[in-house]
Chain A
């Protein structure tokens, strides 16, 4: 790292200011209150000086000249005029040229009202155009992907979208085509702009050339109400603004929060807003009667649930009840669930993770924690987790930036090809189940691993660990972290996928944890005072609860925004378990496959309908806000839980999300001092709850790194894709069709052995489920691995633990 750049003195419009040498003039001016108009310049991308809008007058030894301020580094003694008659005339001229071809269809343009071109023509442009000839015409608009439409007539060729897709997201599928007057931005013929990040280009387009299909013609900017919030997708906690009109959420936009998303969003979190207003939302409580769900009042439903639970507790004890879920909501809802299960029911059977995460003690307690921003200063980055592009896309962008722009050495370990392979210095694959062998080889610096091992010694080192796939044990991630823990300058980032998992764990939605990262048996005041006696029996996790339901040990299951049939790796067994339960109740937004089997279904409020806080993967607490009412009679989870506890005669005394937040700050030491006011005003970037410091009572001790070996047959790599058949995706119409569908990834040799090529059909059998799907060739796979995407539409639930086989051809 170089030392801080020396500072220089420059004069802008007669005012002397100090600025770091080498900074671009446009940025320095803006930071000191002088806005210079611009189109192509974007603070998160490299300057190109394309649009010429930011011309200003600068005194040089050659006299006063017009320079584009976005590519002009500041130098000592520089004298700048941004609004002199000459500068203004130049800016006016540029705008007049831009309007030569830009159509004046603002009244029917999505951008109208929030368009940088419109705004800057108003402020800096000529009143009239001298251009009387015919404008350029193109077919408009052209859909360049399922989500984005392109109107080339409106394009001013600033290349923001081109640069974003090349520099930031790494999928340069749109480029300048042609030359001169016929230059246009376009994709390759018949190759759609199929990027997971395409929506960002719509947001940064300074005109209405790129528009988003889910928002097109649905609202005008001046009719929108806006509120800042935190994305309900992905554990990175992207900051967003939620825009609503007439009680309907219309769109999400990215907010530039430096420590997290830096303005970018994945298309899933940008366009996933559609599920909020879906007609499929649950609106009234429902009780199963004679095998059919019928509508009920809240009073009836709550009393019904309370009585069934009470009766089961009296008959079989509190440990016959369990709860799954809590990671999709707010911290306040998760806290309510934790308190309800412990204080009202009296059991530790609760789990926010759905058999796809990691040991909660590890997630909460592993030491030397990394923040996302540590990637900016890292020398070496080791990613041994799921494909970040599919599961943690914002983290993918940050790691990619570190490797590509900031020069960090990236090491990727994953059984299949990942989105980061292109920028990785070292990539190692392995058959799922053989991970610990590879870890031993890497640690020993065996043949082929020496360079990577040497790089690991070059701190600062950030190690991102997680489960590479659903069929792999979570213990491997702990073993990797334990190995990495001894490396110099290391910081560790354990990751999971579901949005507020870290918040739910911090609130004690895990069998082994209480709010504030306290071990389940280590409760002290003030928690004991507020909660009363806290159960000490050993709780069950999701797998344990599902097994307990099947064996009859567990009688009742509460599902809080959880759909085990779709979410756990062995969904067929989950369905069996729910079927075997004596009593199940689901709080959900939709009638999911699991909720459809429940005895009582209660409509819950979801994102944008309730206030609260969420905690991201680095422990950053951020606020989520309400802008629309929930559908029908939907209520927030905490209120449902409070109502059931009340009806059971064991009230948990929750009044509002805000009072719950205050209660959290009282009982969870780590959350001390975190108030909604703080998050709304002073801590706009979020407040980080530090892991592994003195405030944290839980001590995580690394477990024996020995991993169970899979049988010697074929290994199954069962991995999630960004778009799948989850309930939020299924009810976001624009995204629902984007799930890639089932395919079987095979290594080239494996495919040759079977006599198949890419696109040919094969029949895959996992346990007693068989399906036919096309082959995908992935040279990163070992010859004994089959890669299957998880949870695709139209595919039966699988048992991931069952043996797998593949044969060429379809059903006979």
Chain B
């Protein structure tokens, strides 16, 4: 028998609600992949099989989508995914140095996870924060205007405090510098793991931390 992931009741209910939003089941594929990531910590083969069964696709079709997008992690990642932008604006303003700082603070190169499974540095292409370069995301929560020094402090804080949820505004206040512009909206959504905080996917902390 092929191995199909068993999901929590909460995840099953969420999946059902997501599928109900679309006229065709298969349209729910991408949100469901995030649910699969949340359930297992990363996208497993059995998780993809579960998604395939839910949306009436073959597993090969599910993995075709899953392997196309780099945000669906198919290997385990640490508790905190630290994504450093090295695209042109960030690169011009020291993105490479920020990445180096994150790597040396974590003690592992980009793409790997530290021994204790806490921090996974990676470098990413443009994350839409050129005005606040260099920019970093931790579990897809944005921090702008970092320096190598602040980046080192960020990783040290993550290791020491190990917060259950992460909030972009909060981290910006602690470690950020120049922002693109004042967003004026206080961000209440907090990330709960190494996947984006999306309300409909159930990946947001019940209450924002602040």
Binding site for B on A (CB under 8 A): 171-179, 186-191, 758-759
Contacts and interface: CB of A to CB of B under 8 A. Distances in A.
B61 A191 contact: no
Interface string B63-81: 1100111100000000000
Contact of A191 (B1, B57, B60, B70): B60
Contact of B60 (A173, A178, A758, A759): A173
Nearest to B48: A188
A-B CB proximity, top 9 nearest: A175-B64, A188-B59, A188-B60, A175-B60, A179-B68, A178-B67, A177-B67, A172-B58, A176-B64
Interface in B1-57: 1-2, 45, 48, 57
Contact of A759 (B1, B45, B64, B70): B1
B1 A177 contact: no
A619 to B, nearest CB: 38
B29 to A, nearest CB: 12
27 contacts: A172-B58, A172-B60, A173-B58, A173-B60, A174-B60, A175-B58, A175-B63, A176-B68, A177-B63, A177-B64, A178-B67, A179-B70, A186-B60, A187-B60, A188-B58, A188-B59, A188-B60, A188-B62, A188-B63, A189-B45, A189-B63, A190-B2, A190-B45, A191-B2, A191-B59, A191-B60, A758-B1
A108 to B, nearest CB: 28
Nearest to B49: A188
Nearest to B59: A188
Contacts of B45: 188-190
Given A189-B45, A191-B2, A758-B1, A175 B68 contact: no
B68 A172 contact: no
A177 B63 CA distance: 7
Contacts of A174: 60
Given A172-B58, A177-B64, A759-B1, 6 more contacts: A179-B69, A179-B70, A187-B60, A188-B59, A188-B62, A188-B63
Interface of B: 1-2, 45, 48, 57-64, 67-70
Contacts of B59: 188, 191
B200 to A, nearest CB: 25
Contacts of A178: 67-68
A176 B45 CA distance: 16
Contacts of B58: 171-173, 175, 188, 191
A639 B1 CA distance: 52
Contacts of A191: 2, 58-60
Nearest to B56: A422
A177 B69 CA distance: 10
A179 B64 CA distance: 9
State the main secondary structure of chain A at its contact with B. Answer: loop
A178 B68 CA distance: 5
Contacts of A758: 1
A175 B61 contact: yes
B2 A172 contact: no
A148 to B, nearest CB: 14
Nearest to B68: A179
A177 B61 CA distance: 9
A763 B59 CA distance: 33
A172 to B, nearest CB: 5
Contacts of B68: 176, 178-179
Contacts of A759: 1
Contacts of A176: 64, 68
B67 A172 contact: no
B198 to A, nearest CB: 22
Nearest to A177: B67
A758 B2 CA distance: 11
Contacts of B69: 179
In this complex, which of B2, B60, B63, B69 has the most chain A Cβ atoms within 10 angstroms of its Cβ? B60
Which interface residue of A175, A177, A189 has the most chain B CB atoms within 10 A? A175
Contacts of A171: 58
A532 to B, nearest CB: 62
A759 B2 CA distance: 11
Contacts of A189: 45, 63
Nearest to B3: A190
Nearest to B64: A175
Given A178-B67, A178-B68, A189-B45, A172 B61 contact: yes
A189 B58 CA distance: 12
Nearest to A166: B61
A179 B61 contact: no
A188 B4 CA distance: 13
A172 B63 CA distance: 12
A758 to B, nearest CB: 7
Nearest to A759: B1
B18 to A, nearest CB: 22
A172 B59 CA distance: 9
A191 to B, nearest CB: 6
A177 B72 CA distance: 13
A615 to B, nearest CB: 38
Contacts of B64: 175-177
A175 B66 CA distance: 12
B179 to A, nearest CB: 32
Contacts of B2: 190-191
A175 B52 CA distance: 14
A177 B57 CA distance: 15
Most buried by A among B1, B45, B67: B67
B185 to A, nearest CB: 33
B122 to A, nearest CB: 16
A179 B63 contact: no
A381 B1 CA distance: 35
A27 to B, nearest CB: 28
Nearest to A176: B64
B45 to A, nearest CB: 6
Contacts of A186: 60
> Which of A177, A186, A187 has the most chain B CB atoms closer than 10 A to its own CB?
A177
Contacts of A190: 2, 45
Contacts of B70: 179
A179 B1 CA distance: 30
A178 B45 CA distance: 15
Contacts of A173: 58, 60
A229 to B, nearest CB: 34
A174 B64 CA distance: 9
A692 B102 CA distance: 82
A757 to B, nearest CB: 9
Nearest to B58: A172
A175 B64 CA distance: 6
A171 to B, nearest CB: 7
B51 to A, nearest CB: 12
A759 B1 CA distance: 8
B123 to A, nearest CB: 16
A179 B48 contact: no
Nearest to B66: A177
Contacts of A175: 58, 60-61, 63-64
A188 B58 CA distance: 9
Residue among A173, A187, A191, A758 with the highest chain B CB neighbour number at 10 A = A191
A188 B61 CA distance: 8
B152 to A, nearest CB: 32
Contacts of B61: 172, 175
Contacts of A188: 45, 48, 58-60, 62-63
Nearest to B1: A759
Contacts of A187: 60
Most B CB within 10 A of own CB, among A171, A174, A186, A188 = A188
Nearest to B57: A172
Most buried by A among B48, B57, B61, B62: B61
B53 to A, nearest CB: 13
A338 to B, nearest CB: 48
A422 to B, nearest CB: 8
A789 to B, nearest CB: 19
A187 B45 CA distance: 12
A175 B60 CA distance: 6
A188 B67 CA distance: 11
